[in-house]
Structure 1
Amino acid sequence: MSALAGTGVLTRLALRRDRLRLPLWVVGLAALFASIGNSISDLYDSDAARLENAQVRADNVVTRAFTGPAPGSSSGALTVSEGLVFTCVLVALMNILLVVRHTRQNEELGRAELVGSASVGRHAGLTAALLLAGLANAALIVLSTLALLGMGMPAGGSVLAGVALGTVGMAFAGLTSIGAQLTESARTATGLGGLVLATMFLLRAAGDAFGDTASDKVTVNPAWPSWISPLGWGQQLRPYGESRLWPVALLLACFAVSVLVAVQLSVHRDVGTGMLPARRGAARARSSLLKPLGLVWRLQRGLLLGWIVGIAVFGAVFGGIGDQVEDLFSSEESAQFVRDLGGGGDLVDAYFAGMMGLLSVVVAGFTVQALIRLRSDEENGPTEAVLATAVSRTHWVLAHTVIALLGTALVLAALGLSTGLAYGAVSDDLTGALGDLLETTLAQLAPTAVLAGFALAVFGLLPRGAATVTWAAFAVCLVIGQFGTLLDLPDALIDVSPFTHLPDLPAESLTTAPMLVMSALAAALAAVGVAGFRRRSLALGG
């Protein structure tokens, strides 16, 4: 039997499983990149303003480490500087999750063994996953190119920007296929993919930070670390600048070599196992694991640590450029944009209000992840076994809720501390910066609790749609709540997000009334969720 027998059937099955999830990813990523380009065009409407901004980006080591330098001074080039690396990171994440879902997760849940009992080749599952990744990345190339062309961007640069996104995605799909052969669990494979992504981001950041600025004071020739990162290769296409196509060969070669390695590893292991032996646990469990709170903490601590480290890095970057806000947003239009985003007033305060507000909503993604675990544990995890003991359903849900909210508080504190320390170091006002920014981030716990309460209510009442509905609510909070004013959306629609009901700290003063109201609403929603879970049957197996 051919090693690829059944690939077509498995590809169609994968397409059916992701018929909603994948289009949302692809359309959302294309729209995100295009919206960044639209914002740049609105903010910098003159050649002088664009040139000044590009030069400031090239001159600031922190800025070019975080976003990368601009390949020129046009609107398209500034779009690449502002959004290409960030969007490529999200594209890489999409491919990591996609490949793990259709390879390692299938083996972990026993689907691969069941399918393999039919006329299915050894490499059909991996090939189907990679074909699906190829289709998703090809669609992303087309949609992002069309979106940029629709905004009036030059055709050549628009095509190259789309190709950069798609080929970076394929490189990470290939690298993830290796991780899926090494580990025994989908969670570990995803974590390994995230670690590779973080490493590649840091290599690219170091390369851009230590690169040499060219004579035009705009473009930057990166140092060697950037040349061993797929994210760096994607940048080197330089859309709307020199427009180089040859780095695509590096990205496609990375994909091809990774797939060959993954195929060879697959031949030398059994289905359901990984090349790396699973670490054996202790012979005796800690006493804390006998209680729901201790067990949930053990399950969530890895996720929490990853969020704390990641958000601290982002906070340090945004804080480190706080003293250059007036240079980065020197034009009247860009300064007004920042003030609209952050509640007006002083430009620096408005900048921090806007950025901390945005990142705080992003932190709510941890809250959603932590609580959605309730649903995944109900389907395939320990929920049934735990509830077979003396643990009540209320106790089990409350343990997840406490860990989710305490973890959220820790992540928000890490954001405030890293941002405050970085800004305090560059502004020589460490005490003031720390106090203001810690207050700014920790205050976001109240609206995050409302989103947590909503997640619990959906879990209790609509378990099979819990993940989809909760992530949709998170997306509403992120997009409508943070950018609704800039998009001139109706106030009634903007007010749907609980995050819009807090003052724009630190530009405005903190008031306790909205926090108390949101806390009461969160408690009421959580009570609805607990009551619903207590009254329904366990929804096992999806």
Structure 2
Amino acid sequence: MSTTTTETRSPVSRHEHPHSTDGAHPQGTVRILGVLLRQRMRRDRWQLLIWILCIALLALFSASSIQTTYGDAAGRADLVKLAIANPAILILRGLPQGTGLASVTFFEIFTFLALLAGLMSTFLAVRHSRAEEESGRAELVASTPAARILPTVATLTHGVLANVVLAVLTGLGFIAAGLPATGSFVAGAAVGGAGIAFLAVGLLLAQLMMSSRGANGFASAIVVLAYVLRGIGDATGTVTGDGNHMISAWPTWLSPIGWGEQMAAYTANDWRPLLLDLGLAAVLMVIVFALQSVRDSGAGLIPERAGRRDARAALNGPFGLAWRLQWPTILGWTVGGLFTGLLAGSLGSVVSSAVADDPGLANIRTAIGSIGSGGSGPLTQVFVAAIFSLAGVLAAACATQVAIRLRQEEAAGAAEVLMSTPLSRVRWLFEFLLVGVIAIVLVLVAAAVAAGLSAVSAGEDASIINDSFAAAAAQLPVGLVYLGVLALVFVVLPRLTIPLAWTLLGLGAFAGIFGGLIGLPDWAHDLSPFSHVPVVVGTVDWTGGYWMFGIAIVATAAAAALIRRRDFAIG
């Protein structure tokens, strides 16, 4: 009996057990890792392509635009002088390291590129870890010879390769703009190094949080916190040498983005701070693998707050449910609008005062006008209108996430369950879109209130409050057109909603805000809703706004008419 039992179990032990000797053999492990890595590359091929190309092109076009706007040494000296004299600009930009074209380019754009690399990497990390556990796919993969550790190794390898490619293409973008090759690759490595550090942060938070939404939110907050810490360190730094260089204070050394700054591309070209990025990633990954080996699949080390025994009365209808599902995201974008408004109001007053004190800085107006709407008028008003282009991007991003939430509810099967009640599809769609409209308004109102009050507290006339609300109202059509068009995309092409949503937002923001600055053809620039935002400085022309209102209404009506005629797209 025992012999028969042993003979019966041995084939299972060798070929079917998830921890079989085939999976443990080095060749088998490499083969499985290769399969997992290819799966991740295939799944992310369009998302990563868009992220990496946009960051690299932003590096290229930024360098070209700075050369066009500040081609002479006097113009660059004015810019650095203004930045060093005003800490708010240092928080927003970076650490000045001279007036050369290459060093000014690195000062102007690096921190933003590193911020984007951090977001790209954390989203990638959570998508292939915590989100996979939420869907149940991670448990299925763990039942194969891949077990539980190899998928994490594959995700780490995938993220590192993505950041290496990003580093190389960013360096090539700077080189294509005519900057020195050595410094360009140092700058690219600084961007990629920050991305690798945040990749490990994302993987760690995927171990700690119970949901992918929580992990993504926490990771994004850490990336932004790193940006702010770097800004505080730069703003409180000390001026050295000829007055065109600065040494950052200690808060900068708490941030992976700050470590990239310390590489001082195009000046010192110091590779040593890159070791801090790689060292942080290595330490965090040791913790990740330790937690991964003992944690239950699907569990998080930080438990979610227990829900109420009985639902609130507000959840009796689809609007209350839609709001409950999305209020944390809306709150996050609203806080972003608040900070954007604070920057617009306080920094606008600072720039206006600096130009009034030093007429030699008057050419700064041209650069400010190229950021967004431009126009002529009081410089503070011009600056607020220009910076509100960023508030418009936040409002459109909030609308984008509403459309994405529609798709997520449908894909998970939750929408189909709701449709089994007397609730109609059209009402379900409209209730979500109503939440989207409210979210857009909240983001813009928060930005307007913060901009107006901060400008008044800095000594501006109270009329700037009206100007801030006018600038916010000008951005409203952009958010609504994204909400309506993406609702139509959700109805017609449900499975492409998420990638198309972020692609349309990214391309629209890039072409609309930076298109004129980098010399895009008029037809490409005009495709972006952001290029048709009414200019609220001087004579206001609302033609573009009216067209966007019309497009939003037509797209929403088409979505409502078509949603009744299609099946649910589950999964």
Q: Structure 2 CA distance, aligned partners of 1:535 and 1:321?
A: 51
1:491 CA drift (Å): 4.2
Q: Structure 1 CA distance, aligned partners of 2:558 and 2:408?
A: 20
Does the CA contact (< 8 Å) of 1:157 and 1:243 recur in 2?
A: yes
Does the CA contact (< 8 Å) of 2:61 and 2:177 recur in 1?
A: no
- Over the aligned positions, Cα root-mean-square deviation in angstroms equals 2.1
Which residue of the other structure, out of 524, 532, 555, is the alignment partner of 1:525? 555
Q: Structure 2 CA distance, aligned partners of 1:276 and 1:394?
A: 38
1:185 maps to 211
Q: Which runs of 5+ in 2 are unaligned?
A: 1-18
1:281 maps to 307
Mapping 1:450-461, distance limit 5 Å: 450-461=481-492
Is 1:173 aligned to residue 204 of structure 2? Answer: no
Counterpart code for 2:293:
V
1:377 maps to 409
Does the CA contact (< 8 Å) of 2:78 and 2:361 recur in 1?
A: no
1:311 maps to 337
Q: Structure 2 CA distance, aligned partners of 1:250 and 1:109?
A: 34
Going from structure 1 to structure 2, the CA distance change for 1:228 and 1:300 (only over 3 Å counts) comes to same
Going from structure 1 to structure 2, the CA distance change for 1:156 and 1:501 (only over 3 Å counts) comes to closer
Q: Which runs of 5+ in 1 are unaligned?
A: none
Counterpart code for 2:266:
Y
Which residue of the other structure, out of 281, 286, 296, is the alignment partner of 1:270? 296
1:93 maps to 119
Which residue of the other structure, out of 493, 497, 502, is the alignment partner of 1:466? 497
Give the secondary-structure state (helix, strand or coil) at the position aligned to 2:283: helix
1:424 maps to 456
Q: Structure 2 CA distance, aligned partners of 1:7 and 1:294?
A: 45
Give the secondary-structure state (helix, strand or coil) at the position aligned to 2:458: helix
My pick for the range that moved more, 358-367 or 374-383, is: 358-367
Does the CA contact (< 8 Å) of 2:534 and 2:545 recur in 1?
A: no
Mapping 1:386-401, distance limit 5 Å: 386-401=418-433
- Give the alignment's TM-score, normalised by structure 1: 0.94
Q: Structure 1 CA distance, aligned partners of 2:238 and 2:517?
A: 36
2:94 maps to 68
Q: Structure 1 CA distance, aligned partners of 2:221 and 2:480?
A: 29
Counterpart code for 1:261:
I
1:370 CA drift (Å): 1.4
2:266 maps to 240
Counterpart code for 2:289:
V
Q: Structure 2 CA distance, aligned partners of 1:517 and 1:170?
A: 43
Q: Structure 2 CA distance, aligned partners of 1:101 and 1:71?
A: 37
Which residue of the other structure, out of 142, 164, 182, is the alignment partner of 1:156? 182
Going from structure 1 to structure 2, the CA distance change for 1:139 and 1:289 (only over 3 Å counts) comes to same
1:418 CA drift (Å): 1.6
My pick for the range that moved more, 9-18 or 237-246, is: 237-246
Render the CA deviation track for 1:58-77: whole Å, top value 9, x for unaligned. 22111112222212211121
2:282 maps to 256
1:515 CA drift (Å): 4.2
1:138 CA drift (Å): 0.4
Q: Structure 1 CA distance, aligned partners of 2:344 and 2:189?
A: 29
Does the CA contact (< 8 Å) of 2:326 and 2:402 recur in 1?
A: yes
Render the CA deviation track for 1:230-259: whole Å, top value 9, x for unaligned. 111111111122222211111110000000
Does the CA contact (< 8 Å) of 1:315 and 1:416 recur in 2?
A: yes
Going from structure 1 to structure 2, the CA distance change for 1:330 and 1:20 (only over 3 Å counts) comes to farther
1:449 maps to 480
Going from structure 1 to structure 2, the CA distance change for 1:507 and 1:211 (only over 3 Å counts) comes to same
My pick for the range that moved more, 315-324 or 52-61, is: 315-324
1:352 CA drift (Å): 3.0
Give the secondary-structure state (helix, strand or coil) at the position aligned to 1:526: helix
Larger radius of gyration: 2
Give the secondary-structure state (helix, strand or coil) at the position aligned to 1:56: helix
Counterpart code for 1:36:
S
Q: Structure 1 CA distance, aligned partners of 2:226 and 2:501?
A: 30
Give the secondary-structure state (helix, strand or coil) at the position aligned to 1:220: strand
My pick for the range that moved more, 347-356 or 158-167, is: 347-356
2:41 maps to 15
2:468 maps to 437
Give the secondary-structure state (helix, strand or coil) at the position aligned to 1:20: helix
1:501 CA drift (Å): 3.4
Which residue of the other structure, out of 37, 54, 61, is the alignment partner of 2:80? 54
Going from structure 1 to structure 2, the CA distance change for 1:385 and 1:142 (only over 3 Å counts) comes to same
Going from structure 1 to structure 2, the CA distance change for 1:55 and 1:336 (only over 3 Å counts) comes to closer
Give the secondary-structure state (helix, strand or coil) at the position aligned to 2:452: helix
Number of residue-to-residue matches in the alignment: 539
Give the secondary-structure state (helix, strand or coil) at the position aligned to 1:481: helix
Render the CA deviation track for 1:110-140: whole Å, top value 9, x for unaligned. 1111111111132111111111111110001
Counterpart code for 2:51:
W
Q: Structure 1 CA distance, aligned partners of 2:538 and 2:65?
A: 22
My pick for the range that moved more, 501-510 or 189-198, is: 501-510
Which residue of the other structure, out of 513, 518, 536, is the alignment partner of 1:482? 513
- Give the alignment's TM-score, normalised by structure 2: 0.89
Render the CA deviation track for 1:233-290: whole Å, top value 9, x for unaligned. 1111111222222111111100000000111111221111112223221111111112
Identity of aligned residues (%): 33
1:536 CA drift (Å): 0.3
Going from structure 1 to structure 2, the CA distance change for 1:486 and 1:207 (only over 3 Å counts) comes to closer
Does the CA contact (< 8 Å) of 1:450 and 1:518 recur in 2?
A: yes
Which residue of the other structure, out of 515, 520, 526, is the alignment partner of 1:495? 526
1:526 CA drift (Å): 0.4
